[in-house]
Amino acid sequence: MRAVAEISDPIHGYFYLSSVEKDIVDSPLFQRLRRIRQLASAYLTYPSAQHTRFEHSLGAMHLAGYAGNVLKDKEYVSSDDVQMLRLAALLHDIGHGPFSHLFEEVLEVKSNITHEDIGRMIIRKSAISDILAKHGYRADEISDLAFGQSSRMFLNEIISGGLSVDLMDYLQRDAYFTGAHYGRIDAERIISSLEVYDGRLAIDRAALNSFESLLIARYQMFKAVYFHKTVRAAEVMLLKAMMLADGHLHLSESYKRVEDYMRLTDDMTLANLLMLKVDVNNNNDKDDSNIKELRLAKRLAEDYRDRRLFKSVFESILQASSRLINRLTDARYLKDRCDEIAGIAGVDPDMVYIDSAKAPSIPRAPGKEEPRDLILVGKEPFRVKRIELKDIPLISSILGYMNMIRVYTIEEHREKVAKAALSVFGSEAESWYERIAV
């Protein structure tokens, strides 16, 4: 790989771009990632968290090159594989829309499509594919690698999952830019220990402590940052606003034309919400209920912009055994509880929001299945060992623990809704730990 450009990065220091990488990075489709923050709304809580998918993608590329070279030195892959891994990591987030995962929720509900589907489209059918072709790379191969569909499973695992460069870059980066103390990990230790066994990615036994730390760091970042109650408050507001305005702004259909999608950055989407026309006479949409929805969307966007955020009045971090867990994805159930709480509190149901978030405690493997084990390579006589994650004490304790439910409302209804939420959910949130942040 010949370096044609240099990147200076606070996380990884100096690193370099090859010719094909530079062409991709300089393309408008990729430059657009500079305007999509890595952590959507976390900057409203952690003011310095202004970092974007752009820097993260570069960092993931760099780590993929590092991992690739480790595997090349151990003769598992070729130089060409390393370049393809770097390209896959560089492009793994190319499909992300404004506010990343929030927009993805809109897409999923409205169009049943994910950022990975869009990423595949962009890699295969856009200026990106032309650049890849010009440099002799096949867009479909890069796309398969980027989204877990390579036939060599261990290559997929470098891009996503518990040993992935994605995880190792974002934990460090998010910790650095939020200032949270939890995301420090020993990526060098883990990556330099990578091995391949039976087609799967493995690590040297000596790196097990570091792997343990990696998963613990992720768990703590979820609690401190990704699921932070104020961070989620802002995100719930944006999500609701985008949902309400989608019929009008056609956000969920934007992916159909790359030119439209390219324009959808965080701030442009917020600007669109803020500029919604909600005056009856000044709006083509004469339907009253629509106008009401647009008004709410606009108001939410204004409150978001000026940081008048929802207040959390009930919170439960659910044990794996909680009865609630299965219902966290049941939209009907959540809608009913929302109405019930609003009814008890005597407030407009639009002013009560239930946020139920789940995240696998261990990152999903490339094929989305839940990972159960880890392969360790060591010295004789136990050269290779498949270890169940549940047998590693610290990790066993977090398996299944990343479910959370919160009730939000606006400042003025705080007390009423708090009481109502407690009466509706309280009996199911029994252990003290579950109610810790109320």
Q: Which of residues 251-310 bind a second copy (CB under 8 A)?
A: 265, 267-268, 271, 305-308
CB 20 within 8 A of CB 130: no
Q: How far is the CB of 240 from a second copy (least distance, A)?
A: 20
Q: How far is the CB of 283 from a second copy (least distance, A)?
A: 22
| Burial 218-247, CB ≥16 within 10 A → b, else e | bbbbbbbbbbbbbbbbbbbbbbbbbbbbbe
Q: Is 210 in the site for a second copy (CB under 8 A)?
A: yes
Polymer length of the chain: 438
CB 398 within 8 A of CB 216: yes
Exactly one of 105, 212, 253, 350 binds a second copy (CB under 8 A); that residue is 212
Measured from the CB atom, the residue of 113 and 438 that comes closer to a second copy is 438
For the beta carbon of residue 211, count every other beta carbon within 10 angstroms: 22
Q: How far is the CB of 50 from a second copy (least distance, A)?
A: 4
Query: With CB under 8 A as the contact rule, which of the stretches 30-38, 144-152, 231-239, 341-349 interacts with a second copy?
Result: 30-38
Question: Alpha-carbon distance 82 to 69, whole Å?
Answer: 7
Residues 105-164 that bind a second copy (CB under 8 A): none
Give the CA distances from residue 189 to residues 81, 153, 192, 194, 294, in Å, rounded to whole numbers and listed in that order: 22, 22, 5, 9, 51
**What is the token pair recorded at 225?**
């940052």
Query: With CB under 8 A as the contact rule, which of the stretches 22-30, 83-91, 141-149, 335-343 interacts with a second copy?
Result: 22-30
Exactly one of 127, 153, 216, 357 binds a second copy (CB under 8 A); that residue is 216
Residues 38-77 that bind a second copy (CB under 8 A): 43, 45-48, 50-52, 54-55, 58
Q: Is 79 in the site for a second copy (CB under 8 A)?
A: no
Residues 330-389 that bind a second copy (CB under 8 A): 376, 382, 385, 387
β-bridge pairing 373-377 and 352-358: unpaired
12: CB partners within 8 A, 6+ apart: 59, 62, 63
Q: Is 198 in the site for a second copy (CB under 8 A)?
A: no
Q: How far is the CB of 266 from a second copy (least distance, A)?
A: 9
Residues that contact a second copy, how many (by CB under 8 A): 75
